Amino acid sequence: MRNLTGLLFAGGLGFMLLSIAINLDFGTPTMLIGGAIQSNALQKTGATNIVTSVVLGYRGIDTLGELSILFAAAASAGLILGRRHTTAGTQTAGGFVLRHGGSMLFPLLMTIGFYIIFHGHLSPGGGFQGGVILAAAFFLPLLARPGAQLHHGTLSLIEGLAGASFVLIGLIALQQGKAFLQPMLIQDTLGVLLSAGTLPLLYLAVGLKVGAELASLLSHLAQTESDA
């Protein structure tokens, strides 16, 4: 009975999707808002990467919401997973090549991660993507040396301060008589590293927060796994 209802629901949903898809013209999107943003994003935000001007400017509060969702998810996972303690030495240690390979990759990953974060307003990339690479940089040595641990105190400090600075940059704009999260200090130079005003700062906060959060989440998971 349960299976049958599930099947009926899935079938009905599939039929609805198909009949809707037939009616939409594919490949010619309605660019009502998109077109307007494309035409005035450059002078409004100074970011040559228009995606960034949407993510941090036009829809900045959505990004703040996404950051909070990530924070809530990491905190919830911490609540559930954080009670156990790792028993070191249950996993075999990695070999020489694995350990030193992991260590050598660390500076490279850090460089790439920060490069992507700092150039988010100029080229594809930004805080979310760079943050994930930073998290990988910290997590890779952890995989190579099963006994090693990340310092959760430091991670949660970075996480909290980065999130708070995102909100604070928005509040400073409010303090100066502008709207909450309004981009400030927009220079008239385009396409150089120091441009687009506060947007790169916001992306740095996003990158650090995403990096710290994912790293601590992954290490929580790894510890719980080594427990089982």
Partner 1 sequence: MNEHLVLTIALPLLGAFLLPIIMRSSLAMGVWIGPVILGYGCWILANLWLHGNEQPFSIAIGGFAPPLGINLYVDAMALLFAFATQLLGLIFWPFRLDQDTPKRQALMLLLVASSTGLALSGDLFNLYVFYELVAVSTFGLIAASSSSAAYVATIRYLILSGIGSVLTLFGIALIYAQTGTLNLAHLAQLAPDQLNNDLGLAAFLAILIGIGVKAELFPVNTWVPEVYATAASRLSAFLAGLVSKLSMLIILRLLLLIFHQPEATQVILILGILGVISGEFAAWRAKDMRRMLAFSSIGQLGVIFIAVALPDERGVLAVLALSLHHMLIKSGLFMLADHWGGSLERLRGIATTSPLAAGLFVLFALSLVGMPPLPGFWAKFTLITELAGQTDPLYMIGLLVFLLATVIEASYLFRVAAKMYQTKPTDIVRSNSPDSGSLSLTTASLFGAGLIAATVMVSPLGDGLQAIAVQAQDVDLYIQTVLQQPLGEGQ
Catalog residues that contact partner 1 under the rule CB under 8 A: 16, 20, 23-24, 29-34, 36-37, 40, 44, 57-62, 64-66, 68-69, 71-73, 75-76, 78-80, 153, 156-157, 159-161, 163-164, 167-168, 170-171, 173-174, 177-183
Least CB distance from residue 115 to partner 1, whole Å?
A: 26
* Closest to partner 1 by CB, 66 or 110: 66
Least CB distance from residue 217 to partner 1, whole Å?
A: 13
Tokens, residue 70: 């990530």
Tokens, residue 38: 């494309």
Least CB distance from residue 137 to partner 1, whole Å?
A: 23
Give the C-alpha separation, 221 to 108, whole Å.
25
* Closest to partner 1 by CB, 137 or 173: 173
Least CB distance from residue 12 to partner 1, whole Å?
A: 11
* Closest to partner 1 by CB, 30 or 92: 30
* Closest to partner 1 by CB, 65 or 124: 65
For the chain, give percent helix, strand, coil, nearest 5. Answer: 70, 0, 30
CA angle centred on 142, ends 141 and 145, rounded to 5°? 85
* Closest to partner 1 by CB, 79 or 194: 79
**DSSP label at residue 109:** H
* Closest to partner 1 by CB, 57 or 207: 57
Q: How far is CA 98 from the centre of its chain?
A: 28
Least CB distance from residue 157 to partner 1, whole Å?
A: 6
Least CB distance from residue 87 to partner 1, whole Å?
A: 20
Q: Residue 200's closest CA among 73, 93, 47?
A: 47
Q: Match 């490069």 to its residue by tokens.
A: 115
Q: Match 């687009």 to its residue by tokens.
A: 196
Distances (CA, A) of 174 to 57, 164, 196: 14, 15, 18
Cβ count within 10 A of residue 61 = 11
| CB distance 186 to 197 below 8 Å | yes
Least CB distance from residue 177 to partner 1, whole Å?
A: 8
- CA end-to-end span of the chain: 36
* Closest to partner 1 by CB, 133 or 181: 181
